[in-house]
Amino acid sequence: MSTTTLGALELVVLLAVARLKDDAYGLAIRRDLAARTGRDYSVGALYTTLQRLEDKGLLTSRHSAPLPVRGGRSRRHFTLTGAGARALREAERHAASIWAGIGKPLRPRLA
């Protein structure tokens, strides 16, 4: 089985989509990332990453019906694909492997 290498931003975006489920559209993903990482990613960077994940087949997207307000826009919602879910699982295992053997939280040793 081939594995897909994920960048740091790709991983957190993919996790956000997985977490937000049906509510995973650009603005919501951005807010989620800002709340969890404390970083204010630009919309352009976010959409570039979403598009790249879609190109890799890890996400799929669809447009919602226009919002029920005057001139309401349709949002583009993203959904995790099976390949995306496998990529997340692979990333989790990879992280666990890296962290293996670190039994206790790392604390600075007092001199």
Partner 1 sequence: MRSSPSRQPSVTTASKTNSAPVTERALLALGGDPAFITDLLGDLSEEYTYRAAHDGVSAARLWYVREVVRSTPHLVWNAIRHGPPSARARLAGSILAVVVTFSVLTLAWLTRNGPPASLVFGGGIDSDGIVVNNLGPVQLSMSVLDARGHRLERTDVRYQRVSGVLIPVSTRGVIKCTQPGDAIVRASLAPLHRDFVIHCQPVRTIRDAGWGNFVVGDPAGTLTVDAIGLDGQPVTRIAARLRVEDSTIATLDSSGRLRPLRPGETWIDIEIGDRRAGAFVTVYEPVRTFEGLRPDQRLVVAPIRLTRGASIRWPLPTGVFFLTFSADSSEAPPTRGFVGLGSSSSPTVQSPVNMSVAGLIMCTRMPEPQPGVLGAYCLARAPGATLILTYSGPGGPNEIVGSLALERQDQH
Based on CB atoms, which residue is closest to partner 1, 27 or 95?
Answer: 27
3-state SS class at 79: strand
List the interface residues with partner 1, window 41-100 (CB under 8 A): 42-45, 47-48, 51, 54-55, 60-63, 66-67, 69-76
Nearer to partner 1, 61 or 90 (CB): 61
Within a 13 Å sphere around the CA of 7, how many CA atoms are in the beta-carbon half?
10
CB of 101 to partner 1, least distance (A): 39
**Among the listed residues 20, 30, 32, 84, the single contact to partner 1 using CB under 8 A:** 30
Considering CB under 8 A, how many residues would be counted as binding partner 1?
Answer: 27
Contact call for residue 21 and partner 1 (CB under 8 A): no
Query: How far, CA to CA in Å, does 27 sit from each of 20, 45, 47?
Result: 11, 12, 10
77 or 91: whose CB is closer to partner 1? 77
The rounded distance, in Å, linking the Cα atoms of 30 and 54 is 17
Asked if 25 interacts with partner 1 (CB under 8 A), we say yes
Bridge partner list, 63 = 76
Q: How far is CA 106 from the centre of its chain?
A: 27
